[in-house]
Structure 1
Amino acid sequence: MMLEEFIEIANLLDVYSELLSGKQKEYMIEHFENDLSLSEIAKNNNVSRQAVYDNIKRGINLLNDYESKLGFYKKKKKLIQELKNLKDNYSIEKLDKLIDEII
């Protein structure tokens, strides 16, 4: 997995983790946020490496599906960029426009 993909999944996990099953969420946080290997996660949870892999794979598919349907992460990225632009080029008109877009 490329670094960009890894970071993207970690960001999607931040947005949608509460929609995953308990084990998917746990394994994915351990892998993507705590940087544990599949073998380490399996050992810590007394399950097979394959079980961890399957849960993470299903979790990734779910995160991508949620994002394609809901788009919250894309909206969050856009809002952050617009706030950075506003910070660099502040005007009350630009702030009002951004507020109108959000509401």
Structure 2
Amino acid sequence: MEKIVEQTLLYDFYGELLTEHQRRIYEDVVFNDYSLSEVAQELGISRQGVHDNLKRCSRILEDYENKLHLVEKFVSIREKIRRIHSLSQECDSMDKEELVSRIESISQEILEEL
């Protein structure tokens, strides 16, 4: 998975668990593409302080994912839903029983993940 996509998903799932200060730094650097110097000047802290805070935020978000696996489950389920969607597009060229069987199988995989 691309780094920015991974960072976005981690933040979407766990960002609210960061402090407001941490969220602001993370959003400014990762999503708003501000430099460390710009964020440091805006917040009145050192560039090193911004860097350390950014690394800490990334580690915290990754630690939550390592414990809860919500992003992993989301990505897996999204892929299975895409497979179901793809099957629905092919339904005219496929035997109805085979189609139902494959959709049931994928649906069962999703239910087991939840």
TM bucket, shorter chain? 0.7 to 0.9
The amino acid across from 2:111 in the alignment is D
Q: How does 1:6-85 map to 2 (within 5 A)?
A: 6-85=4-83
TM-score (norm 2): 0.75
**Deviation at residue 68 of structure 1 after TM alignment:** 0.4
Q: CA RMSD in A?
A: 2.2
| Structure 2 Cα separation of the partners of residues 100 and 69 of structure 1 | 20
Instruction: Decide whether aligned partners of structure 1 residues 89 and 7 sit closer, same or farther in structure 2, where only a CA change above 3 A counts.
Output: same
Structure with max Cα Rg: 2
Unaligned segments of structure 1, at least 5 residues = none
TM-score (norm 1): 0.83
Unaligned segments of structure 2, at least 5 residues = 89-98
Alignment check: 8 A CA contact 1:28 1:59 kept: yes
